[in-house]
Amino acid sequence: MTHILMIPGSLRAASSSRATARALAARLPQGTTCTTADPGVLPHYNADVTDDAEVAAFIEEVRKAHGVIFVTPEYNYSVPGVLKNAIDWASRPAYESVFKGKPCLVVTTSGGALGGVRAQAHLKYILNGMLAVIYPCKEIIVTMANTKVEDGILKDDTVLDFAEEALAGFVATCG
């Protein structure tokens, strides 16, 4: 059974990225398990800290996952600080972290018309630097995302149908 870890880039429970993550989780192929990490519980990155329980638990979540799906908004043309902080914790030791060789899929959301494409490019660049394996597919973006959330879940069949094919391909590479 393939296990996927979702890492949202937003702290807000009602955010469009968390709503998108929930909708994507519901469309994962049958037999796939999924959990969602909480990057908000991690302290600010500090290399002097070597024994934080939340950091250790997060790194173990990434290690146990067969693949990681990032669902993040775009903040100021890039990734949110909370997401970068989580990645920084899990990126050590450099070039030998839990992300080395880890299959990753990137999905972005935005309240605007570009759907977070700049954040998506930045996140892929960051993941490349950690030797993660970024799933090659057409970019999955959610434009005007805030208007598409109902009862805490993304309601956009066009986007979700488009994403479902990529999800199936991604999960197939994770097993």
At residue 166, the pLDDT reads 97
pLDDT bucket at 155, cuts 50 / 70 / 90 = very high
Cβ-contact 90, 58 below 8 angstroms = yes
Q: Give the chain as a 3 state SS string.
A: CEEEEEEECCCCCCCHHHHHHHHHHHCCCCCEEEEECCHHHCCCCCCCCCCCHHHHHHHHHHHHCCEEEEEEECECCECCHHHHHHHHHHCCCCCCCCCCCCEEEEEEECCCCCCCHHHHHHHHHHHHHCCCEECCCCCEEECCHHHHEECCEECCHHHHHHHHHHHHHHHHHHC
What would the pLDDT profile of 76-113 be if each residue is shown by its tens digit? 999 999 999 999 999 999 999 999 999 999 999 999 99
At residue 15, the pLDDT reads 95
What would the pLDDT profile of 113-141 be if each residue is shown by its tens digit? 999 999 999 999 999 999 999 999 999 99
pLDDT bucket at 67, cuts 50 / 70 / 90 = very high
At residue 163, the pLDDT reads 98
At residue 156, the pLDDT reads 97
Q: Which residue has the tokens 């393939």?
A: 2
At residue 52, the pLDDT reads 98
What would the pLDDT profile of 6-17 be if each residue is shown by its tens digit? 999 999 999 999
CA-nearest of 36, 45, 43, 42 to 13 is 36
> Total structural domains in the chain?
1
State the residue range of the domain holding 20: 2-44+52-174
Calculate mean pLDDT across residues 20-44.
98
Share of the chain above pLDDT 90, in %: 99
Average pLDDT value over all residues in the chain: 97
- Is the overall model pTM greater than 0.85, yes or no? yes
At residue 175, the pLDDT reads 75
CATH code of the domain in which 64 resides: 3.40.50.360
Tell me the C-alpha distance between 122 and 107, whole Å.
12
